[in-house]
Structure 1
Amino acid sequence: MVILPPDLDPELVARLGDTGGGQLAQKMGIEFLELSASYSVARMPVEGNRQVVGLLHGGAHVVLGESLGSISSAIHGGPGRVAVGIEINATHSRSITEGWVTGTCTALVLGRTLCTHEIVMTDEEGRRLSTVRMTNYLRDRS
């Protein structure tokens, strides 16, 4: 069960429920545990997300990070607004070959039109695997 803020936009709640966070998040096996504008947590299995030599694919880290950053920004934007990613970067610090990766998303800036989040990926022992930073532009839904 996902922990959600009580005042969350009902339309966003419906979209999250209907899509599980989006088609790619579902394919990657991402499980959202807690979602808010300032702090969100999700996890993803290594199984099914490895690259050719058996390590978790670097792009999988970015997918987990972008999923958390985008949803957190959308929550901050509120009803009638959408979050559009405009910048993302990742630094990979450690590899992993099995188990689960947890992404912890913390807001750095929650502005009127821009949101920036840092998402730290850790293994099951709490070791940092990668750091993703993402900026979203908030615009009115058209």
Structure 2
Amino acid sequence: MIGTWSRSLVPDQARFIHGLADLEPEIGPIIAEHIEDNHEMLPTVLMADIARWATHLAQTSDDPQGRLRPFFARLEDAWGDGQNTVADLIATGFLENIFDEPEVVGLLGPKLARANRVYTGQEPIREDEKRPVPEIMKQIRKKLGWK
């Protein structure tokens, strides 16, 4: 079922979501419910659903670090250098939904913890973390008279 609904995603995002479902048995039903509720896969909204799941486990598990270690390791690995479509999905769908959940933030790996600190304004973004402006945006800005 996930394959049918993930065909419209960027291939890297589809592989990432499939991998989460394979890694964590509780994520498959979250995906199924998400598709049933939305009649399509909305990856950012799905990641928010998964963020709520992780938050619930972080708050209720006897050993949240042990329970969620494989999940957070997968997110950390998928983040890579932070300059890819999966990192975009993690940032907009997951990190934006857990930034004020200290139980979850405390479980983040170093890359995601850094991204969270930048997102929350605790640290400035470094030059190597900035993406180049796409050529089309440069053209639009020029036409609009913006610098």
For normalisation by structure 1, the TM-score amounts to 0.32
Of the two, which has the highest radius of gyration? Answer: 2
Query: Which one has more relative contact order, counting CA pairs under 8 Å at least 6 apart?
Result: 1
